[in-house]
């Protein structure tokens, strides 16, 4: 997908099961839920996603990878590159959520079995509408591997606060500017 503008109220772009070798470039996204990968029970691997030179504005999420909290499928999400992305007033600019559950009544019977690895966020800049600008929430049984944060500059516009990063069960590295300070 190249040179596109999308404001939906839901995911601007969503990568589904079995997506491989997909490039998204020069896209404007907002309002909505941002650019998402949704992994739900019994789905196929998703590999080789490249998102470059995009602007995300006034969304609830920016770059989001989410897996069902109770996924019974053993599958993977790997080899993702997000680079040169501008965030304008985005509530969750960078988020990996392996405890995703949109329904409060849905039982959480076990950990997500989706393996997330080889994820790179490079030159991501702009403003966040929430204090937590980077939230990497992975499962103990399937930690996220080889996550790289390189050149992250996300400024929180709230009163007297600065943006923060939060990492749980993530193995990775950081390089370059890190605002908020890295949690890797």
Q: What is d(CA 113, CA 62) in angstroms, rounded to the nearest whole number?
A: 24
Evaluate whether 111 touches 142 at the Cβ level (below 8 Å): yes
Q: What are phi and psi of 5, to 5 degrees?
A: -120, 135
Contacts of 104 (CB under 8 A, 6+ apart): none
| Active-site option among 33, 45, 97, 118 | 33
Catalytic (active site) residue 10: yes
Measured on CA atoms in the order 144, 62, 77, 1, is the torsion positive or negative? negative
> How do 46-57 and 75-90 pair as beta strands?
parallel
Catalytic (active site) residue 118: no
The catalytic residues are 10, 33
């Amino acid at each position: 997908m190249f040179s596109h503008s999308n404001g939906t109220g839901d995911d601007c772009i969503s990568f589904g099961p079995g997506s491989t070798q997909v490039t998204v470039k020069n896209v404007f996204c907002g309002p909505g839920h941002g650019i998402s990968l949704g992994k739900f029970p019994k789905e196929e691997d998703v590999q080789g996603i490249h998102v470059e030179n995009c602007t995300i504005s006034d969304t609830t999420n920016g770059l989001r990878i989410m897996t069902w909290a109770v996924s019974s499928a053993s599958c993977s999400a790997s080899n993702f590159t997000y680079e040169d992305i501008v965030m304008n007033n985005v509530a969750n600019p960078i988020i990996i959520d392996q405890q995703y559950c949109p329904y409060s009544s849905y039982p959480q019977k076990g950990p997500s079995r989706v393996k997330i690895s080889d994820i790179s966020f490079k030159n991501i800049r702009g403003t966040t509408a929430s204090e937590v600008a980077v939230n990497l929430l992975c499962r103990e049984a399937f930690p996220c591997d080889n996550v790289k944060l390189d050149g992250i500059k996300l400024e929180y516009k709230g009163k007297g606060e600065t943006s923060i990063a939060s990492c749980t069960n993530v193995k990775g590295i950081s390089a370059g500017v890190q605002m908020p300070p890295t949690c890797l």
